């Protein structure tokens, strides 16, 4: 497993996410993920499976020192009265004293970014998380968050896949010293079905899905993958034994289209043009 080093942290480049997984699915797949070599796990308060992930990791005997755990604070907890308490609840569910990375899940449209960042800084100072970051911020918000934060921000976790041009965000994050974490890398199932990615995969003896993950990893991003099926876990992590050529990388970049964004919920998502 490769690492991404950012702001003094070494983050396993490929993480296992549990978005949209039931507690039963989490219980079934996490042992397989650990056996395959995953050590970076990503959840969130709103996923309602932090407790299932905590139980599964503990039940499998995973050593805490070997794990990199990420969770996210939901927007309804962006208040001084609720933020720290919600994080404490997340830690209890995950069976840990602190997470490795705590993110603001969405910027939303009701609490200023500066206030969100202040609360994030406070829980880090209290020892509830090793590192902090954001998710789903636009470039303007990211620059403001970095400027306002007393501690370095590790990452901005955003939608990233071949059909969405994130070049402007990549440049902004690089200028801020912030890594990008890619979610929705399969573009809601479009990547595994893509003829070009299937063709490239055939050249390397890989699936289109593996090509999509490799394309993200090869750009230096932290990447999240997921499956609820234990039998498919090994395929998800088998992306470090091949490389895409410059021509293949460019061809995949060319799949981007103006309507490529998939995830943009009203009231949560920012203006992506800023």
> What crossing angle do the helices spanning 83-94 and 113-125 adopt, rounded to 10°?
50
Transcribe 75-107 into DSSP letters: GGG-STTTHHHHHHHHHHHHT-S-EEEEEE---
Helix, strand, coil percentages in the chain from 3-state DSSP, rounded to 5 = 45, 20, 35
Q: Is 118 exposed, middle or buried (0-12, 13-18, 19+ CB in 10 A)?
A: middle
DSSP designation for 228: S
E-state strands within the chain: 3-6, 9-12, 14-17, 40-42, 68-73, 99-104, 129-135, 153-159, 179-183, 222-225
Count of beta carbons in the 10 Å neighbourhood of residue 52: 22
β-bridge partners, 6: 9
C-alpha 34/C-alpha 209 separation (Å) is 20
Whether 163 is catalytic is: no
Which residue in the list 47, 163, 183, 184 is annotated as catalytic? Answer: 47
CA 19 to chain CA centroid, Å, is 10
Give the span between the Cα atoms of 56 and 93, in whole angstroms.
11
Q: Binding residue per annotation — 105?
A: yes
- Tell me the C-alpha distance between 128 and 98, whole Å: 5
Residues of each annotated binding site: 105
**Which positions are annotated as active-site residues?**
47
Q: Which residues are annotated as a binding site for substrate?
A: 105
């Amino acid at each position: 497993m490769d690492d991404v080093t950012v702001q003094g942290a070494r983050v396993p480049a490929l993480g296992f996410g549990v978005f949209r997984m039931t507690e039963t699915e989490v219980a079934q797949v996490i042992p397989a993920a650990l056996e395959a070599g995953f050590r970076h796990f990503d959840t969130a308060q709103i996923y309602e499976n932090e407790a299932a992930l905590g139980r599964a990791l503990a039940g499998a005997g995973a050593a805490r020192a070997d794990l990199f755990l990420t969770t996210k604070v939901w927007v309804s907890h962006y208040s001084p009265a609720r933020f720290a308490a919600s994080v404490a609840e997340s830690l209890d569910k995950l069976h840990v004293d602190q997470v490795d990375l705590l993110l603001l899940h969405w910027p939303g449209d009701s609490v200023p970014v500066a206030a969100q960042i202040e609360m994030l800084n406070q829980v880090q100072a209290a020892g509830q998380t090793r590192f902090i970051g954001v998710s789903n911020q636009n470039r303007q918000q990211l620059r403001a968050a970095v400027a306002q934060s007393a501690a370095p921000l590790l990452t901005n976790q955003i939608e990233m896949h071949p059909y969405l041009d994130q070049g402007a965000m990549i440049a902004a994050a690089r200028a801020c010293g912030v890594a990008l974490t890619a979610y929705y890398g399969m573009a809601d199932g479009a990547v595994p079905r893509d003829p070009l990615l299937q063709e490239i995969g055939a050249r390397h003896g890989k699936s289109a899905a593996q090509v999509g993950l490799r394309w993200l990893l090869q750009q230096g991003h932290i990447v999240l993958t997921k499956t609820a099926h234990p039998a498919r876990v090994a395929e998800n992590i088998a992306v470090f034994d091949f490389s895409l050529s410059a021509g293949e990388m460019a061809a995949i970049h060319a799949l981007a289209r103006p309507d490529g964004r998939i995830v943009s919920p009203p009231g949560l998502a920012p203006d992506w043009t800023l």
